[in-house]
A and B are shown apart, each in its own frame.
Chain A
């Protein structure tokens, strides 16, 4: 941990001034197999988060979500018995780039006095709503993609990772450590879809191609499920049922020439965090060296690798050495990453799963705890048209 850490300060209005009060989720179902509709699922997750926080559902006065979630506050408030709705926000952009940004929106509402108890949420039920891919593609896979055979995110992201392997001068082996670390962590996580799955290197390497350079295990399967977290002001921390987990910093957006570019962005070989990561570290008064544990949204393994590079956990020169499997596993790896299995091995609710694991780690409740962990990074959907990252910390970081 860096001696440069400065802690709470009047010049850092976001640092340590809001907390995650509670978390809740449904199980991860196979896609299309949830017994509940999207709205019933999210109600279950929100109520579970309220129980975890020790608050009543009707106390929620703000809603923050992302990526065109179809369940918005104007529907949910009725069934939650919301006493007064004071905030509702949506982070735009395809994919799950907005997971950390939605937490940032909740914090912004609270710190400006517009709301007090904000739920950040996401729900997916493909039985009801069709493949997630369909929703994404209807917006993003226009004729400029489909006329060329590009229909799904896996293909779009494969093009980017193919370019990354070229600019880094590495083979697709670079992705293996992260995938195997995910599956290693999932093995001890009863919630994970890959719980007790004994994926090994040989199986990973021989799996069928999806879109080169991605094979089967490089791509996240879609899950049904819903998850929610409750965010409140830090002053309420002493009243919480659980150990408080503080938001320390959030950065979001795109660098110049980003957004919807039909593959003409400047950082095409990476994941879109080039301008976000430096802002995040500056906001927190930290660097990558201060992070004890990482939750990296990696629904496509190569983009998870790119996210790690862009956040400064390695350089283009030492990436192969740093991102080896041994470094990525808890409890003793130098960079314990995706300690509940990540999108690839735990389940995929568009990044809520990595957010919830960040909270569990810092509470000491992870299936793969990192002893003494105080700072956890969460990165949003890599390669999304809009993305974000956040840092969370225990009370020791204040």
Chain B
């Protein structure tokens, strides 16, 4: 699927307690923002109120590059929600980001699927709010161009 065709199922929104709100706001501002502990500098995903590594309560959100490699993937063949009917079969990747201590983010794969494999490099691309994903920008992924 092309980036502009990628649908969101339901309304993408933060958890009721808002612990992940800065992530969603960051996407709307065109950035991938991830939480970092202000005490031990560990990257945290899922978002937390307290650092599980050192116990600090002070965590801040930082813009980071959206690059990584495919840790896993699945191609879904059934439209489990009406919004998916236009894109099945489609691929969802779980991307490992090495500069974030190996934290993993899910995302739909857009554009060419050639070369899809565990370990394949991917680049994140933010889909601005639109007809298919109203109200909230979403991070999608595409396979990085193969090395020359």
Residues of the A chain whose Cβ atoms lie less than 8 Å from the Cβ of B14 = 143
Is the beta-carbon distance between B12 and A143 smaller than 8 angstroms?
Answer: yes
Is the beta-carbon distance between B118 and A163 smaller than 8 angstroms?
Answer: yes
Residues of the A chain whose Cβ atoms lie less than 8 Å from the Cβ of B9 = 146-147, 149, 151
Assess whether B71 is interfacial by the CB under 8 Å rule: yes
Is the beta-carbon distance between A150 and B106 smaller than 8 angstroms?
Answer: yes
Option from B46, B71, B89 in Cβ contact (under 8 Å) with A163 = B71
Tell me the chain B residues, 39-71 only, with Cβ under 8 Å from chain A. Answer: 45-46, 71
**Contacts between the two chains (Cβ within 8 Å), count:** 95
How long is the Cα–Cα vector from A209 to B90 in the complex, in angstroms?
Answer: 12
Q: Which of A142, A149, A212, A263 has the most CB of B within 10 A?
A: A149
Tell me the chain B residues, 65-92 only, with Cβ under 8 Å from chain A. Answer: 71-78, 80-81, 84, 87, 89-90, 92
Assess whether B37 is interfacial by the CB under 8 Å rule: no
Is the beta-carbon distance between B45 and A264 smaller than 8 angstroms?
Answer: yes
Nearest CB of A to B142, in Å = 14
Is the beta-carbon distance between A160 and B72 smaller than 8 angstroms?
Answer: yes
Nearest CB of B to A117, in Å = 39
Option from A147, A163, A209, A261 in Cβ contact (under 8 Å) with B75 = A209
Residues of the B chain whose Cβ atoms lie less than 8 Å from the Cβ of A166 = 72, 118
Q: Given contacts A148-B92, A149-B92, is CB(A212)–CB(B74) below 8 Å?
A: yes
Residues of the B chain whose Cβ atoms lie less than 8 Å from the Cβ of A268 = 71-72
Option from A144, A159, A209 in Cβ contact (under 8 Å) with B89 = A209
Is the beta-carbon distance between B12 and A147 smaller than 8 angstroms?
Answer: yes
Is the beta-carbon distance between A142 and B15 smaller than 8 angstroms?
Answer: yes
How long is the Cα–Cα vector from A160 to B118 in the complex, in angstroms?
Answer: 12
The chain B residue with its CB closest to the CB of A265 is: B104
Assess whether B143 is interfacial by the CB under 8 Å rule: no
Assess whether A210 is interfacial by the CB under 8 Å rule: yes
Task: Tell me the interface secondary structure of chain B in the complex.
Answer: loop
Assess whether B94 is interfacial by the CB under 8 Å rule: yes
Task: Give B1-35 as 1s and 0s: 1 = Cβ < 8 Å from A's Cβ atoms.
Answer: 00000011111111100001000100000000000
Is the beta-carbon distance between A150 and B92 smaller than 8 angstroms?
Answer: yes
Is the beta-carbon distance between A261 and B46 smaller than 8 angstroms?
Answer: yes
Assess whether B108 is interfacial by the CB under 8 Å rule: yes
Is the beta-carbon distance between B72 and A163 smaller than 8 angstroms?
Answer: yes
Option from A145, A163, A208, A212 in Cβ contact (under 8 Å) with B106 = A145
How long is the Cα–Cα vector from A155 to B7 in the complex, in angstroms?
Answer: 17
Assess whether A365 is interfacial by the CB under 8 Å rule: no
Is the beta-carbon distance between A146 and B10 smaller than 8 angstroms?
Answer: yes
How long is the Cα–Cα vector from A147 to B7 in the complex, in angstroms?
Answer: 8
Is the beta-carbon distance between A262 and B46 smaller than 8 angstroms?
Answer: yes
Assess whether A162 is interfacial by the CB under 8 Å rule: yes
Task: Give A212-232 as 1s and 0s: 1 = Cβ < 8 Å from B's Cβ atoms.
Answer: 110000000000000000000
Option from A147, A151, A162 in Cβ contact (under 8 Å) with B72 = A162
How long is the Cα–Cα vector from A211 to B94 in the complex, in angstroms?
Answer: 14
Residues of the A chain whose Cβ atoms lie less than 8 Å from the Cβ of B7 = 149
How long is the Cα–Cα vector from A360 to B19 in the complex, in angstroms?
Answer: 48
How long is the Cα–Cα vector from A162 to B24 in the complex, in angstroms?
Answer: 28
Residues of the A chain whose Cβ atoms lie less than 8 Å from the Cβ of B103 = 264
Task: Give A62-94 as 1s and 0s: 1 = Cβ < 8 Å from B's Cβ atoms.
Answer: 000000000000000000000000000000000
How long is the Cα–Cα vector from A72 to B8 in the complex, in angstroms?
Answer: 36
Is the beta-carbon distance between B75 and A212 smaller than 8 angstroms?
Answer: yes
How long is the Cα–Cα vector from A264 to B53 in the complex, in angstroms?
Answer: 14
Assess whether A152 is interfacial by the CB under 8 Å rule: yes
How long is the Cα–Cα vector from A261 to B107 in the complex, in angstroms?
Answer: 16
Nearest CB of B to A236, in Å = 44
Is the beta-carbon distance between B46 and A155 smaller than 8 angstroms?
Answer: no
29 pairs across A/B with beta carbons < 8 Å? A143-B13, A143-B24, A144-B20, A144-B106, A146-B9, A147-B138, A148-B92, A148-B107, A149-B7, A149-B90, A150-B106, A151-B80, A151-B81, A155-B80, A159-B72, A159-B73, A160-B72, A166-B72, A209-B75, A209-B77, A210-B78, A212-B75, A261-B46, A262-B45, A262-B106, A263-B94, A264-B45, A264-B104, A268-B71
Q: What 12 additional pairs, Cβ within 8 angstroms, besides A144-B46, A158-B74?
A: A146-B8, A147-B138, A148-B138, A149-B92, A150-B92, A159-B94, A162-B118, A163-B71, A212-B77, A263-B104, A264-B46, A264-B104
The chain A residues found within 8 Å of chain B, CB to CB, are 142-152, 155, 158-160, 162-163, 166, 208-213, 260-264, 268
